[in-house]
Structure 1
Amino acid sequence: MEAALVDAEMKRCAAEEELFFKLPNRIEVCLPGRRTINGLLGLYDDDIALVTSFGLQAVHPVDLDLEATPKFLRVPLSLLFEAVLGGPLMVKTLNGNGVRFLGMNLGCYNEDANVKYRFLPMKLLHERLKHFQIVNPKELHFREYSLPKDVSSIVPSGFVRTINRIKSLGYPMPPPLMLELDGQLLNRFEGYFGEVRAWKGYPFGYPPVGSEKRVWEHLSKEVVTNISRRVVKLASFNGPSRLFACTGLLIRWHAHTFILTLASLVRSRLHHEKIDNSLTIEVFLPPNQRVRGTLALYNLNYNFAIVSVEKNFHAIRPEDIFNKSPMASKKVVAVGRDADQGLLMASIGEVKRRNKETELNCRDLKLSTCKINKAGIGGPLVDVNGSFVGMNFYDGSKLTPFLPRVRLSML
């Protein structure tokens, strides 16, 4: 994959044509021998644009490493090669056997019957590409990517629907060309883990296949029924855009029903140590119960929250997390609900003695060998008898951290 620099003037001219609006990032790259190849417009500003092409062979790219580039000598204007807009400005070496790259031509004009060129010198071009985050890709943070100041990007027409969906689901915008290169979002709120189980009356045929089978058969029918009537899905919204999604557990607290879940649901995206009180919370319990939630209590140190609901759910069985009954089995099951259709998911494992520091640096956390993904965070960890063991977190490792019941029961 090679990236070519082209003058932004070509972009502006193309923008005036109707075809450019239909396929706004498609560029035809002309090669020696009258060959052409397709290119994709990535980033641009008022002067330069970046076009990416695939399949280029036997190319000799210009080295833009300032430290590796020798200093240029002053030479008469007559030694300059003929220049074109967007092309390189070159100078002959002293021995006449080679050329040096001086910069990129941005324009030309006549002054006193002489043609003069406006160009971006090598040093300034290097600084501009560094600002574009091209010459320092190791510093590019994909999870928090945003376009650099005064830099723009064109969304390909074929990906407009995908981009709109990404925005509505609250995910950060991907860097340019990620969609064209079949880039995939990782650690999404959507997705499945363990064995997936449909709720009663599920109208869409067989549920999606998860990563495990024969998990639910380890639980009695009564335990499965209890889980299905107390595990909910929550999402927070900033206007129409979703900010966060997680699983929650209906609990009985002070003779009322609340939801235990992650405080990340209502954390400020800009200030993680604060709560964003402007967010709205939606709670979903299949098949059709959707109610508005309100933050009642939270603890940012342990990252848990208690959410109340505006109206009562029907046919629920909230968990008594203050019941101090000991865990009755070594096997434990991590439960979650998916963000799309509210399907239950479960993976089975064992509680593991903590022998490593997880990404979530809290000594009160314990670990289980249950494998979940981000869709399961905030969900309950139960033993095979249905007793509540703790609330699950996710750090991307093979083990699942959870906040044990004893800490949560101290509310």
Structure 2
Amino acid sequence: MTHILIVSLGNSPEPIVNCINSLRPDRVIFFCSELSRENVSAVLDRVPLPDYQEAADVVVLQQRLHRKQSDDVINELDKLDRVYIRACELISAVRIQHPGCNITVDYTGGTKTMTTGLAMAAIDDGIAQLSVTITDRSSQMAHESGYSVPVLVSTAVIQSRRLFEQDLPSLLKRFDYEAARQAVRRILQLPSQDMESSLQLRRLEDLLVVADAWDRFDHRRALEVLERMGDRSLDQRLLFPLKRVVGSRRILDTVAEIEKWSYMPGHNLEAVEDLLRNAERRAAQDRYDDAVGRLYRAMELTAQILLKKTADIDTADVDIKKLPEHIQEVYRSKKQASADSDKLKLALSNAYDLLADLQHPVGLHWRQQRSRIQDSLKTRNHSLFAHGFSPISYSDWRILAGTLVPFLQQAIDDTIQQTKFSPLAQLPSSIAELLP
């Protein structure tokens, strides 16, 4: 694999010569000022660089050497931001020129601003290896020969602190679990991780895998990871609530039932709660079309679960014989009038109408608010996700959520009151919630 060395060059070529002789890179790029540029020749006189090309391998920072210079010349050596940007651009260009290469950045020579900017760029790159060439003080000949060696600089502690103080808080606040997991993975791949930090990061990564899978409704994957972790401290916060969601899902999901996904009994509407919490997360990401889609599905699912548990009715194929005799003829007529006369399928409104006909409290509640709810659903129906092309705005989301969420929450609360189970909490939105 190609090894590229980027070195900051100051007034002394000695440490750079020792660095190159020690690392033996395939290519060396000098990061220097106008004044230190002349020392490149001194380095070349002492180390073989057969593929050296001055135009490509010398990056010179602008420097005002006298007052008569053009005003276009900016003294970059005194501007940390300019040095940092130039260094970032250099590292990026090297990656394009040498895909998959190893980059070592040595910040030994040059001004304080030059070395600081170059080191910052290497740290932010997250992949480049950082080094500094120092005197080997264990050598008795060090003072006489000026002998020095490049020493790798561990950036793991710096990167880890940035991760916990800067990256993760903002990502978790927006429930972006996959991006958070990738950020953790980048730190884990850095060398020189101490064992305790590595174990904490790996546990954090597992928890982010769980949260991301759960957020994508991949409940089976989330269960597998949680059960593999075997951490009893996660039972009440994550494992048991997730098993209740699966238990609710199994009421209608034949795959989950046939494959015997691990579950626990609950109040039966946990799958609806899960959709509501998911809608909140999508709204926190300003993804209002997705959030509305979750609410609509929650409305459908509530009626489907309640009909299944109350009367063993499948809305995709209603068995009219299971209905009370006094309404059988009404639904038999609906079946005959449907496009598919072999089956009676109930869409959202008709499903709630049947709940009302069965005198279910949620159905009766629906009957009181039917017109208002149907009007609010027009926003969803006009969106691209349904039958139109209109994007859903924050205002649209607030209006729709203001109608549907209280209705659904009332249905959930009614079922919870009949059981010992508590409502589902939102998934973690902070490090403290993930790693209490």
Same fold per superposition (TM over 0.5): no
Which category of TM-score, normalised to the shorter sequence, fits these structures? under 0.3
| Larger Cα-atom Rg | 2
